[in-house]
Amino acid sequence: MTVAALQAAHGWPREAIRIVTVTTSGDRIQDRALAEIGGKALWTKELDRALLDGEIDCAVHSMKDVETIRPETIAIAAMLLRAAVEDRLIGAPSIAALPQGAVIGTSSPRRAAQLKALRPDLGTTLLRGNVATRLARVEAGDIDATLLAAAGLDRLGLADIGVAIPAETMLPAVAQGAVGIECRADDERARSLLAAIDHAATTRCVHAERALLLALGGSCHSPIAALAREVGVDIHLRAQILSEDGAEQVHDEAMLPAGDPVAAMALGARLLDRASPALRALFAG
């Protein structure tokens, strides 16, 4: 997608761009939750090293896997047009249709907490691996269902798989559906070339969500959901924090000036102010 965007923006032939495949720790380690083995850096550290060592000129990321605080030597130079933000349920026509006590496979604390908030009877179990692996576990009956990002399924040509869960029912992860491209902060040529493929509205919304996340101090342990959308010249930001068992949840929303991270952070602070001491402790930790 990034290659195609650069070709279209600059009129380059395909051979002008080389794709370097980097296998990350997150790809290799599939039997444990991310929070147990290093968090989101498992998806970025190898790409960061290749970028800073000059092996690559830019790195392409799923933005929901990128840490909130990035090295000063690396810049988020562009984001592509955001894809579908919803999750899709695989294995049942709806959350309500899941059988009593059904077991849902997921590696996401957010999804697990949201499911339990909607259906306290549901159980969850760790499920990692690529899409094919996860779908196979449902097909084999090892688990009753799973949730996957609609954007990933669409990009893999699996748009007909699963049932979309509206964002009004389950707010997505911060930056879900967004692809970001980073380069070295001092590489002005790369920054200029990448600026030509930046989808400004996506960038503004994702940065608002990431500012909220920064204020919450969330980690891979923390069930956090957020979604920003442009409304005229402003941004409507909705957010939710939950206890791990879904028993406590706090929602809030605000209209923010575009490009104002302080306003987005204020919404995060307001969520924590309304949370119980136990829920605040989850984010502080």
Please identify every residue annotated as catalytic: 65
Query: How far apart are alpha carbons 3 and 14 in whole angstroms?
Result: 8
CB within 8 Å of 160: residues ≥ 6 apart: none
Residues 167/85, Cβ–Cβ less than 8 Å: yes
Nearest to 235 by CA among 207, 270, 214: 207
Q: CA 93, 99, 103 angle in degrees (round to 5)?
A: 95
C-alpha separations of 224 from 171, 193, 215, 283 in Å: 9, 33, 12, 9
SS3 62: strand
The side-by-side arrangement of strands in the sheet containing 58-62 is 58-62, 179-184, 74-79
Residues 224/218, Cβ–Cβ less than 8 Å: yes
Count Cα atoms within 13 angstroms, Cβ side, for 282: 22
**Residue at 62: amino acid letter:** S
Residues 17/204, Cβ–Cβ less than 8 Å: no
